[in-house]
Amino acid sequence: MDLYIYYRVRGDNAPALHARVTAMQQRIANGVAVALKRRPEEKDGLQTWMEVYLAVPEGFEAILQDAVAKDGLAGLIEGPRHTEHFVDIPACA
C-alpha cells in the first residue's frame, strides 16, 4: 500500500516545515521510498504539500503518526493532514 498525505502550509512556515519533514522522512523511511512535493501555485498565502510513502509495511502508518506528533508538525501546518491509501492494480493475464 502507498500513502499520500496532503496538507496546507503558510509560505512563512515553509522553510521550517521542510527541514522537519525531510528529517522525519529520512529517520523513519527504513527502506520505504519517500518523497515530498507541493503544488506549484500558492493560494491565499497557503501552499499545498504532499508526503509520499511507497509500499509501506504493516504498522508504518502508526510509526508515521508518532513521528509527526513528536516532531511537532501540526504547529506548522494549517488544518488537518489528509491521508489517502492506494494499492497497485494487478496486471491482467
Residue 70 C-alpha cell reads as: 513528536
* Per-residue model confidence as pLDDT tens digits over 14-68: 999 999 999 999 999 999 999 999 999 999 999 999 999 999 999 999 999 999 9
- The pLDDT, as a whole number, for residue 91 is 81
Where in the chain are the domains? 2-86
Listed residue (48, 49, 64) closest to 1, CA to CA = 64
- pLDDT, residue 93, reads 58
Q: If one looks up domain 2-86 in CATH, what number appears? A: 3.30.70.260
What pLDDT shows up at residue 90? 86
For residue 92, the model assigns a pLDDT of 74
Give the E-state strand segments of 1-93 in sequence order. 2-10, 33-38, 46-54, 78-86
